[in-house]
Structure 1
Amino acid sequence: MSDGRDEAEADGPKSEPDLIALLGSRLCHDLVNPIGAVGNGLELLEMSPGDGKAEMSLIRESLDAAMARIKFFRLAFGPGTAALVTAREMRTTLDEMYGQTRTRVIWRDEAERSRAEMRLACLALTCVEVATPWGAEVEVVRNEAAWVIHVDAKRLRIDEPLWQTLGSAKLPADLKGSEVQFGILARLTRQLRRPVSVSADETHLSLIV
Structure 2
Amino acid sequence: MTSDPAVTDLPVDRGELATYIAAKLCHDFISPAGAIVSGLDLLKDPSAQDMRDDAMGLITDSAEKLVAIVHFARVAFGAATSSERFSGEELRGLVAGLVDGGRASMNWQVQTDVFEKPAARALVNLAYLTMAALPTGGTATISTRQEDGFVVLDGLAEGARARLKPEAVTGLAGQRLAEGLPGQWIQPYWLWLTVTDAGGALEVTATEGQVRLTARMPH
- Following superposition of structure 1 onto structure 2, how do residues 130-169 of structure 1 map, counting pairs within 5 Å? 130-144=132-146, 145-160=151-166, 162-163=168-169, 165-168=171-174
Alpha-carbon distance in 1 for matches of 2:59, 2:92:
22
Q: 1:135 to 1:70 in 2, by over 3 A?
A: farther
Q: 1:32 to 1:161 in 2, by over 3 A?
A: closer
Report runs of 4+ in structure 1 exceeding 6 Å deviation.
none
Provide the residue aligned with 1:35 in structure 2: 33
SS in 2 for 1:149: strand
Q: Does 1:83 align with 2:79?
A: no
SS in 2 for 1:193: coil
Provide the residue aligned with 1:171 in structure 2: 176
Measure how far apart 1:124 and its partner are: 1.7
Map Cα deviations across residues 167-193 of structure 1 (whole Å, 9 max, x no partner): 45x434557133112222222322223
Map Cα deviations across residues 58-110 of structure 1 (whole Å, 9 max, x no partner): 32122111111111111111113332212332233333322343343333225
State the TM-score, normalized to the length of structure 1: 0.77
SS in 2 for 1:49: helix
Contact residue 134 and residue 163 of structure 2 kept, 8 A: yes
Alpha-carbon distance in 1 for matches of 2:138, 2:33:
23
- Following superposition of structure 1 onto structure 2, how do residues 57-206 of structure 1 map, counting pairs within 5 Å? 57-80=57-80, 81-109=82-110, 111-128=113-130, 130-144=132-146, 145-160=151-166, 162-163=168-169, 165-168=171-174, 170-174=175-179, 176-206=182-212
Contact residue 177 and residue 185 of structure 2 kept, 8 A: no
Bigger strand share: 2
Bigger helix share: 1
Over the matched positions of the two proteins, sequence identity in percent amounts to 21
**Gaps spanning 5+ residues in structure 1: where?**
1-8
Deviates more, 1:184-193 or 1:146-155: 184-193
Q: CA RMSD in A?
A: 2.9
State the TM-score, normalized to the length of structure 2: 0.74
